[in-house]
Amino acid sequence: MTILHINEHLARKGGVETYLFALMPMLEARGHSCRVLYGDGDPALWPASVRVPAIRQAGAARQAQAEVADVLRRERPDLIHVHNVQNEGVLAACFDYGPTVLTTHDYRWVCPANTFFYKRTRETCFRTCGPGCFTTTLRKHCLTPRPHYALAFYRRAKWAIRHGGRLARVIAPSHGAKERYVQAGFPPERITVLPYFCPVPPSDAPRPVPARPTITFLGRIAPNKGQEYFVEALGLLPPEVRGVMVGNLGEGGEEAMRNLAARHGCADRLELRGWASREEVERLLDETSVFVFPSLWPETLGIVGLEALARGVPVVASALGGTAEWCLDGETGYRVPPKDAGAIADAVRTLLHDDGRLHRFGERGIELIRRRFLPTQHIEALARVYEGVLPA
């Protein structure tokens, strides 16, 4: 089978691209041929690739449709798998060509702002896409303030909601993500829940409980990631508890976090690090007592949480979106209300006060990764999706 993957970027730059570069070699090992259609990036990363810049240009739907249709006629794939693109013309060309599968890596096809998150009030949005999105963004700031792009993003979401039934299959990384697409109007019978796989192999057993109690945050420093509640929770914990933050701390991020820690009385206990390699992340997790995932938007899954569980580290996570797939309350960690540093601190304190609980939760986390989140399980389920949408 020849599969054409379509994504904005052909680059090692984000979670979607990390997933794609791990997925394609596994598909090829099963005898499939993978090609990539992309908007920008480095063709040396996957030689069987074609660049069409229009696919990442919001508002260039007609141009993208014509150019993608031309590529499809030349490449003649058996199946198309769409990941992240910026305009609806790509999907329109795919629909006209043949079986198309879409993975909902975010909410761009049902939310003009992609994230169901209000930047000004730092709240989760529960609206469905409609004209009210424009008045709401004036008060709570979710859409871009640039009218041309805001209108293009709105049109993309409305178009996708009208035409979602033309997709052969939609793959949602979690039941929470599926619910959002169903609420928007996508046919539920076309949506398959298939979580991402964990990129870290599960350990044989949980790591020894660290000598110094340590909580860790790993991820982008951004308005929707909730890092300020991690710092505030650290300030509420006893002075022997250390906090470690790993992320994009450049351009003032480090100074902002240090100032925040000073306000909460924990500056001497907060360690800040820039982005780390895969090996460094695994070593860091082995030094972690409890991993904290304080996201403020409904993540479609949250792969970093899987990585913590794979090393036997319990998690305290916001009770939003896809975290319910892996943060099993009272089993692999605790789910807490978003924007609640006190609840984070209470859950962490409960775990730190009982080494036996830490170990049991760690064991259950490793078992969960083995049961549901191995790469082999993911690729077998995806292959069944592919086979199910191909013409007999």
> pLDDT tens digits, residue range 365-384?
999 999 999 999 999 999 99
Following CA atoms 166, 112, 119, 149 in sequence, which dihedral angle do they give, to the nearest 10 degrees? 140
Q: Would the CA dihedral through 57, 60, 62, 63 be positive or negative?
A: negative
Which CATH number is 2-197+374-389 given? 3.40.50.2000
Fold of the 214-372 domain: Rossmann fold (3.40.50)
Q: Which one, of 83, 106, 84, 87, lies nearest residue 3 by Cα?
A: 83
Q: For residue 14, what pLDDT is reported?
A: 78
From the first residue on, what is the mean pLDDT of each consecutive set of 10 residues in the chain (392 residues)? 97 87 96 97 96 91 96 97 95 97 97 95 93 93 92 96 97 97 97 96 94 95 94 98 91 89 97 87 95 97 96 97 97 98 98 96 98 97 96 77
- The amino acid that residue 314 corresponds to is P
Whether 214-372 and 2-197+374-389 are alike in CATH topology: the answer is: yes
Domain regions of the chain by residue span: 2-197+374-389, 214-372
What's the confidence (pLDDT) of residue 114?
A: 94
pLDDT at 276: 82
- CA dist., res. 279 & res. 141, Å (int): 38
List alpha helices for the chain, DSSP H: 15-29, 61-75, 88-97, 132-140, 147-163, 175-184, 227-236, 253-263, 278-286, 303-310, 341-352, 355-372, 375-389
Distance CA 24, CA 292 (A): 31
Q: Whole-model pTM?
A: 0.93
Which helix H or strand E contains 190, and what residues bound it? none
Q: Mean pLDDT in the chain?
A: 95
